[in-house]
Structure 1
Amino acid sequence: TSLNFPYNIKNQGAGNAGANYTGLYLSTDTTLDSSDTYLGLDDVNVLTSGSSSTESASFNLSQTLAAGNYYLFAKADGGNAITESDETNNVYYQAITVISGNNTDWFSINLRDAQLITLTRSLATDGNLSRNDMIALFRDAKDSAVIDANELTDLRTIVSNATLFTMQDYVRVLSDYVVNGNTANQWWTGGGTTRTSLGNLYAGSSDIQMEKLVGKWFLGTDRPDLRTEGDIANQGSGSYTGTKTYRAVSGSLFQNGISADDVKQGAVGDCYYVATLSSIAMEKPNYIQNMFIDNGDNTYTVRFFNNGVANYVTVDNYLPTNSSGSLIYASSGQSYNNSNNELWVALAEKAYAQLAESGWSRPSNVNNGYGSIEGGWMDYVIKQITGLNSTFNSILNMNETQLINLVNSNQILTAGFVNGGGYGVYNSHAYTITAYNSTTGKFNLRNPWATSHADVTWAELTTLKAYIIYSNT
């Protein structure tokens, strides 16, 4: 079996270095001497002053080489053919592990912990490290109830080489949050009202901390705090003060496609968020479809965009219910054990509540809780869910034709009212603009409550001083 590896060589001298070769050796210690095993040489072309070159080398290992820890030495100008002002900086070594006499590879060269080397090699035989593979590696590092320095370094090395293992983007990002940290790692909420300290992973972290980080990012077990102020626009049923309990909810992500009418706001004051979801579902349903990754174990990884860069959180199928088992937030009224439940709206709301703790989506409220997503504007949500740019405009700066053209396009289109209600429109509330009736001259405003929709004229919209928020494409 061959030993394959890249290395970098640089001419730090003032003059050009002619063609030469690098000598490669295996040693059992950190001193290169005549007792070490000579592997061979690797040719290097001319290097001008200050230039460097990335080389690659491949050598067959002896079948009799004993398994164990070794040091791979590279010696520049291995034949001492070039006169140098400093002959002491030509040698570099890297610790490697030989699992068996003919099985030194990327894993043994780049990783340190023998158990992780064996498991990673086994999991990556198909050329891929999947979500479940990474969870297995994180849990393997919990041996002895502590994550030691070698294990932490190895996990970070694996994540930094995600492309080598054709790791899916969401797996890479979530793994990075586990091993390299995230603002949200500061706390663990777990669906309760009192959060506890968690912290980023470090050499010496406990197995409990590791399991919670895996739960937070891969399993959705760090559920949001259930407390809310409620929907101030809906004085009749916009709040809920009874018992709130998480229950595992039956159903599927989508039922009969994706529709604006899937959206029904509950006792969370996030009309701006769910009204935007409704418009995206109507105009650009592929963004909703691609927002979710069904992990096949009653968990869903949900994608958001931060300045155009994909970020992810994972939620499980436990959703807020009342004492009788009916959902009380998004998709309110559905029974938790109804197999016909459509879950995407409630899961998107829960994911947004969890995302707040990361610090960028809701900078004024960075707790993992439903209360953290109450109150806001639709332009931010458009960007965060689709990555598209958006426009926030007062209707007083528009004309009727512009709004009609927006309705007739497939742009995400919403309206917000904060200057008073009337004409069937509620103040402090957001709507999806779904249609324009040229016969009546009225615009249809879909209420995210899934009831009390409004049809209003241009004149009425201007009287209400509506704000029109839409995607630019």
Structure 2
Amino acid sequence: MSELYGSGAVAETGADSAAVAVDEGPAEPVEPAEPVEPEDLDGPAGLALDSSEPEEPAPLEPSGREEGAEGGFLGRVFEVTSWWSEPGEGAVDRHATVDRPDFPEENPMTEVRYGTPLDRPDGERIPLFDGPPAREQTKQGIIGDCGIISTLGAVAGHRPEAISHCIRENADGTYEVTLHQTKRSLYGDWSRFAPTGSVTVLTVTPDLPVQSDAPHRPAYGKSGDGDVAWVPILEKAVAGVDATWDERRARLAEGYTRLDLGSLPSHRAELLTQLTGEAAYTDDFPTQYDMEGRSPDRQLLETFREKLADGCPVLVGTVNLEREGRSLPKGLIDRHAYEVTEVDDRGLIHLRNPHNLAHPQPLTVAEFKRCIKNRYTTIG
């Protein structure tokens, strides 16, 4: 795992703010953590708001393709003890109940506990869906799992049917989440995941982490535009799936605490496969002219355009400010995961912030390569 993105958690006051039993039978932004693999936010509310153009840093060398997680705080440790290590062979269908996964130690400024924020005061339950799932319905909360929320939003934006097919509400008030099991293989610079043909079925209870001063809204992943339950329930399923892992999968932490460590490009690739049942991979940005005489910049833009036109999510993460020693332009947050949503006619790259607000201004290729780690994640 090389790029953990997660310190982009949002601290919310007065608004948004584990156990996992295995059957016998896997806002306002806050300061992002460094791209070592946890995502971070910087600036007043965790956002890098400096609009001035920074002194141009040299692009990262290929060897830095996966040097840290976006979103969390323990990215460098994460590099050694990856929580998304390669699964074993011989996959079989698995079943587990996800009740109350561990969550990070409480921030002294805001107490977090389990509650039932999906239950409305009128006794009704917030609906699982309100029309097709949409990326705008995803919003990162107060933990550093920007990579997870970005991936959920990207799949909703390109493969909404994958979201609606993998989760349903049960008659007893719980939810059933079905994730495709994956196998990992390495092809040169590629890190590739493919479905094994088996699935993991998780029964997820409706209890969710909430802040004591905002008990009617989830503290972590939540719906942005509209009021739907699929976002926090899927996030909880991803947090609790580690109950189905065997001893071959290393885990530095469990539950939401694991998600708070941030994520790497390879983590996001596995999650893409888990949600869609399609192969996903990570790859470096081009560095040389190709056989058609296309420059590295042109190859990158055309690859992104082709992927987006084919309905394939594209995910990236920003560099580590602490290591680079400079601020990022265009409202970018350091050590933070983003979804690439468009390459426009001018060749500008548009990114979506998983906080569902404060999206960065469109970037030129030069800005993109200076500020984004040179590795992306997609389906294909």
Q: TM-score surpassing 0.5?
A: yes
| Residues in 1 aligned to 2:348 and 2:247: alpha-carbon distance in whole angstroms | 34
Alignment partner of 2:162 out of 287, 290, 303: 287
The count of corresponding residues between Structure 1 and Structure 2 is 246
Match of 2:349 in 1: 443
Give how far 1:366 is off. 6.6
Residue identity matched to 1:223: R
Alignment partner of 1:392 out of 269, 279, 282: 282
For structure 1, which runs of at least 5 residues remain unmatched after alignment? 1-174, 183-215, 230-238, 335-339
| Residues in 1 aligned to 2:372 and 2:134: alpha-carbon distance in whole angstroms | 28
Task: Identify if the C-alpha distance between structure 1 residues 272 and 342 changes in structure 2 by more than 3 Å, giving closer, same or farther.
Answer: same
| Residues in 2 aligned to 1:347 and 1:443: alpha-carbon distance in whole angstroms | 31
Are the equivalent residues in 2 in contact too, given 1:436–1:443 (CA < 8 A)? yes
Give how far 1:242 is off. 1.5
Alignment partner of 1:226 out of 100, 103, 120: 103
Match runs of 1:301-450 below 5 Å: 301-307=176-182, 308=195, 309-324=198-213, 325=215, 326-331=217-222, 341-359=227-245, 363-365=249-251, 368-374=254-260, 375-377=262-264, 378-397=268-287, 399=299, 400-420=301-321, 421-438=328-345, 440-450=346-356
Task: Identify if the C-alpha distance between structure 1 residues 287 and 355 changes in structure 2 by more than 3 Å, giving closer, same or farther.
Answer: same
Q: Secondary structure at the match of 1:290?
A: helix
Percent identical among aligned pairs is: 25
Q: Secondary structure at the match of 1:261?
A: helix
| Residues in 2 aligned to 1:386 and 1:287: alpha-carbon distance in whole angstroms | 5
| Residues in 1 aligned to 2:305 and 2:224: alpha-carbon distance in whole angstroms | 34
Are the equivalent residues in 2 in contact too, given 1:223–1:315 (CA < 8 A)? no
- Structure with the higher fraction of residues in helix conformation: 1
Q: CA deviation digits over 1:52-73, x for unaligned, max 9?
A: xxxxxxxxxxxxxxxxxxxxxx
Are the equivalent residues in 1 in contact too, given 2:100–2:208 (CA < 8 A)? no
Give how far 1:178 is off. 3.0
Match runs of 1:122-201 below 5 Å: 178-180=23-25
Give how far 1:322 is off. 1.1
Q: Secondary structure at the match of 1:342?
A: coil
Q: Does 1:299 align with 2:174?
A: yes
| Residues in 2 aligned to 1:297 and 1:265: alpha-carbon distance in whole angstroms | 28
Alignment partner of 2:113 out of 234, 241, 245: 245
Match runs of 1:68-87 below 5 Å: none
| Residues in 1 aligned to 2:114 and 2:164: alpha-carbon distance in whole angstroms | 25
Are the equivalent residues in 2 in contact too, given 1:356–1:367 (CA < 8 A)? no
Are the equivalent residues in 2 in contact too, given 1:264–1:449 (CA < 8 A)? yes
For structure 2, which runs of at least 5 residues remain unmatched after alignment? 1-20, 27-94, 120-125, 183-194, 288-295, 322-327
Residue identity matched to 1:408: A
| Residues in 2 aligned to 1:283 and 1:274: alpha-carbon distance in whole angstroms | 14
| Residues in 1 aligned to 2:247 and 2:147: alpha-carbon distance in whole angstroms | 14
Q: Secondary structure at the match of 1:434?
A: strand
- How much is the aligned-residue C-alpha RMSD, in angstroms? 2.8
| Residues in 2 aligned to 1:355 and 1:361: alpha-carbon distance in whole angstroms | 14
Task: Identify if the C-alpha distance between structure 1 residues 463 and 423 changes in structure 2 by more than 3 Å, giving closer, same or farther.
Answer: same
Q: CA deviation digits over 1:228-285, x for unaligned, max 9?
A: 58xxxxxxxxx78411122222201112321000110011211111101111001011
Match of 2:133 in 1: 258
Q: CA deviation digits over 1:32-54, x for unaligned, max 9?
A: xxxxxxxxxxxxxxxxxxxxxxx
| Residues in 2 aligned to 1:311 and 1:396: alpha-carbon distance in whole angstroms | 36
Q: Normalising to structure 2: TM-score of the pair?
A: 0.59
Give how far 1:350 is off. 0.7
| Residues in 2 aligned to 1:361 and 1:284: alpha-carbon distance in whole angstroms | 32
| Residues in 2 aligned to 1:446 and 1:360: alpha-carbon distance in whole angstroms | 35
Task: Identify if the C-alpha distance between structure 1 residues 422 and 393 changes in structure 2 by more than 3 Å, giving closer, same or farther.
Answer: farther
Match of 2:143 in 1: 268
Are the equivalent residues in 2 in contact too, given 1:389–1:471 (CA < 8 A)? yes
Give how far 1:310 is off. 0.7
Are the equivalent residues in 2 in contact too, given 1:291–1:303 (CA < 8 A)? yes
Give how far 1:317 is off. 1.4
Residue identity matched to 2:272: I
Are the equivalent residues in 2 in contact too, given 1:253–1:342 (CA < 8 A)? yes
Match of 2:35 in 1: none
Match of 1:81 in 2: none
Residue identity matched to 1:457: T
Give how far 1:347 is off. 0.5
Match of 2:192 in 1: none
Match runs of 1:63-102 below 5 Å: none
Are the equivalent residues in 1 in contact too, given 2:137–2:224 (CA < 8 A)? no
Match of 1:28 in 2: none
**Higher RCO (CA < 8 A, seq sep 6+):** 2
| Residues in 2 aligned to 1:364 and 1:381: alpha-carbon distance in whole angstroms | 17
Residue identity matched to 2:218: L
Q: Normalising to structure 1: TM-score of the pair?
A: 0.48
Are the equivalent residues in 1 in contact too, given 2:115–2:208 (CA < 8 A)? yes
Match of 2:54 in 1: none
Q: Secondary structure at the match of 1:414?
A: strand
Regions of 4+ moved over 4 Å = none
Give how far 1:396 is off. 4.0
| Residues in 1 aligned to 2:108 and 2:96: alpha-carbon distance in whole angstroms | 29
Q: Secondary structure at the match of 2:175?
A: strand
Match of 1:150 in 2: none
Residue identity matched to 2:101: P
